[in-house]
Chain A
Amino acid sequence: MRTPPSFIHAIEFSAFGEWMRSNVLAMPWVNAAHVLCVILVFGTILVVDLRLLGLLDRHRSVTRTADELLHLTWAAFAGAAISGALFFSANATTYWFNTAFRFKMLAIVLAGLNMAVFQFVTYRGVARWDRNEPPPRAAQLAAGLSILLWVTVLVLGRLIGFTKGFDVAVPDNIDFDFGAP
């Protein structure tokens, strides 16, 4: 218990991790980039989701809204993943054991699965309901789930910052006995 797997140790002691920890400007700038990318991911997904729910941009087709915004979503997601990975490398052991971080990763995976199911099942027939008002139930369900999961990601992301400093668990492999010869 409390001893991370060797690959986590390797990430923490990688050149990226050392650079993030020792460069005075690395953390604030990577942090700013991460926040900006996350805002773009959530903002663009939210617009598409609200369109799928029939609450926004109802005069525009679903495909036009999605086509205009989702390339920005993917670019921002790549930026968020890279900046997030840099953050992780700086403090990998702590993040590895942090419950909020684990649930955040789970929420991202679930959001991805939800998006995949929508893309490969519901969206395949979009030509039939591209301009329909309201969109089909399956599209509305995917959009509602998407908003719920991405809000969860945001909330958990903030919780990490408030919880990761308070883990006082002791690794098993520390020998506190200094009396032995």
Chain B
Amino acid sequence: MSKNKLMLKTIGSAAALIVGLAASPLLHAHHSFAAYDMTKTQILTGVVTRVNPDANHLQIFFAPMNTDRKNVERDKDGKPVIWAVEMAGSAAAAQDGISVSTFQPGTVFSVGVHPQRSGDPSGFREGPLFKCPVGANGKATPPKPGEHCDAVEGRTAFGQGTLPTPTK
């Protein structure tokens, strides 16, 4: 085989490998879950403040609601405590209907998360998301005290199944 043919064959093989990798499920396995405690599950209901639709991980930032569902949890200065729920990339999340369009600021939703081991206010999504309906006044209708959006009539599900069972 001539040098040129060998070089062309090598370049062709490398190109095929790159194309194959780019189209493979590896794209969805961006990093490990070591930061999250996968043995713990919490259910959180909160008000969306921002969505970061990243290629690798979509994040929804939200202010968790207090148990009476009339306002949000606040820090000692009275500012809303902000959590983030991270999930697969924006394209994968879009398959479940989750995007900046469907989770605009002010949306009330519920989600199961595996919290960070560090105690930082963020977690990795487990299971579907449930969005509370919007009332006639244009504002989200929150769940009853202690409940989540999956219990509210007119809710919308994003993903299959039910909210996971929280760990003690």
**A contact residues vs B (CB 8 Å cutoff):** 12-13, 18, 21-29, 31-32, 90-91, 93-94, 164-165, 167-171, 173-179
Chain B residues with CB under 8 Å of A179's CB are: 70-71
Chain B residues with CB under 8 Å of A90's CB are: 53, 55, 90
- Does the CB pair B105–A174 fall under 8 Å? yes
* B94 at interface, CB cutoff 8 A: yes
- Does the CB pair A91–B53 fall under 8 Å? yes
- Known A164-B54, A170-B63, A174-B105; further 17 A-B contacts with Cβ < 8 A: A13-B101, A18-B99, A21-B99, A22-B99, A24-B27, A25-B22, A27-B91, A94-B50, A94-B53, A164-B52, A165-B57, A165-B84, A167-B50, A170-B82, A171-B50, A175-B106, A176-B63
Query: Contacts A174-B106, A178-B139 hold; do A21 and B22 have CB atoms under 8 A apart?
Result: no
B58 (CB) vs chain A CBs: closest residue: A21
* Closest CB in chain B relative to A172 CB, distance in Å: 10
- Does the CB pair B100–A28 fall under 8 Å? no
Q: How many Å lie between the Cα of A168 and that of B22 in the bound state?
A: 31
Interface string of B67-109 (1 = CB under 8 A from A): 0011110000001101010000111101000011100011010
* B23 at interface, CB cutoff 8 A: yes
- Does the CB pair B89–A27 fall under 8 Å? yes
A176 (CB) vs chain B CBs: closest residue: B72
A179 (CB) vs chain B CBs: closest residue: B70
Contact of A170 among B49, B53, B65, B139 (CB under 8 A): B49
Q: How many Å lie between the Cα of A178 and that of B99 in the bound state?
A: 24
B19 (CB) vs chain A CBs: closest residue: A29
- The 14 listed contacts between A and B (C-beta, < 8 Å) are A13-B101, A18-B101, A23-B91, A31-B55, A93-B50, A93-B100, A94-B50, A170-B49, A171-B105, A175-B106, A176-B71, A176-B72, A178-B65, A178-B70
Q: How many Å lie between the Cα of A24 and that of B94 in the bound state?
A: 9
